Structure 1
Amino acid sequence: MNQLILSFVSPDRPGLVDTLSDIVHQHHGNWQTSSLHHLSGFFAGVVEIAVTEEQTQSLIDKIQSIPNVKCIIEQTAQHAGTRASLVLELTANDRSGIVRDISSVIHQQGGNLLKLVSAHEGAAHSGVELFKAKASIDVAESNIDDLITALEATADDLMVDISR
């Protein structure tokens, strides 16, 4: 089996996921991990697809022929999954550069950012704009305490909750 990583963006329209999943099914592929989002009138996503060697090119060609969908498809011969050792839930007052600061600390502490899902929302009682994120990372056990200390030092208001 080949693993395909499909990254796409399209003006949002009803039926887009149905179209993509139908193409995967027609080519006997298996829709595996995905993250799909509506963003400012567009629909964007990343999908991991398992497909036989014989169906791979036909599947790629069919996906790339969908009107008004821009996509990048990367192929790998084997599943390259990595298990995250930590999940960080981060909350702070929103400010410019916060994602850069967080990702830089993770990198400097020897961590690998596997997944980041973030949101911008108002605090319930004060209305202050908050940055909230959930990050899955892989980091050596010996670096965990230093990583948390370094993250908390990026801002006085940054709260970090950790789970495994």
Structure 2
Amino acid sequence: MNHLVISCIGPDQTGLVDTLSKIISKNQGNWQVSSLHRLSGFFAGVIEVAVASEHSEGLVNELKNINGLSCQIEVAEPNLPEIVSNLVLEITANDRPGIVQDVSSVIHHQSGNLIKLVSSQDSAAYSGQDIFKAKVQIAIADKSIDDLIYALEQIADDLMVDVSR
């Protein structure tokens, strides 16, 4: 059994997910995990698919030939130990260029491993100012959590971090 990590991008149009799912199903693949988005008029997605070795080549070929969609496909090692996220951070701050770089740099320098980052931009209710929001899952040694939170909060006066496990 192969595990394929598929990254796709192309101009958004109706039916792209249907097309992807039909090709995966036709080649006896099992859609495992995905994150699909419409970003500035483009469809962007990442999908993990489990597929028997004898069907991998056909699946890859069909995915790469979807009209208007560029797919990059990598074979993953399915027997690697699962990375466990032991900390979830919800970060809110005034939006500004470089904020994701600042947050990721602090996590890296505090020996954290960023597992997942989901971010958005909203308008503040009363001021209309752009607000950055992110939900971040990381793996980090328990003894480093306090230092990580302190370092994140030093990025800016307006940055707030809510922590859960």
| Over 3 Å off, 4+ runs | none
The reply to whether residue 127 of structure 1 matches residue 116 of structure 2 is: no
Looking at structure 1, the residues matched to 129 and 160 of structure 2 have their Cα atoms a distance apart, in angstroms, of 15
The reply to whether residue 33 of structure 1 matches residue 33 of structure 2 is: yes
2:50 corresponds in structure 1 to 50
Query: Residues 59-78 of structure 1 correspond to what in structure 2 (within 5 A)?
Result: 59-78=59-78
Deviations 1:136-160 (A, max 9, x none): 1111111111111100111111010
Looking at structure 2, the residues matched to 136 and 11 of structure 1 have their Cα atoms a distance apart, in angstroms, of 29
1:104 corresponds in structure 2 to 105
Aligned length, in residue pairs: 164
Looking at structure 1, the residues matched to 123 and 79 of structure 2 have their Cα atoms a distance apart, in angstroms, of 39
The runs of 5 or more residues in structure 2 that have no matched partner are: none
Letter in 2 for 1:48: E
Greater alpha carbon shift after TM alignment, 72-81 vs 23-32: 72-81
Shift of 1:72: 0.8
Greater alpha carbon shift after TM alignment, 72-81 vs 113-122: 72-81
Change (3 A) 1:15 1:52: same
The runs of 5 or more residues in structure 1 that have no matched partner are: none
Contact 1:10–1:68 at 8 Å: present in 2 too?
yes
SS at match of 1:117: strand
How big is the alpha-carbon RMSD for the aligned residues of Structure 1 and Structure 2? 1.0
Identity among equivalent pairs (%) = 56
Give the TM-score, by structure 1 length: 0.97
The reply to whether residue 139 of structure 1 matches residue 140 of structure 2 is: yes
SS at match of 1:96: coil
Shift of 1:79: 4.9
Looking at structure 2, the residues matched to 89 and 42 of structure 1 have their Cα atoms a distance apart, in angstroms, of 27
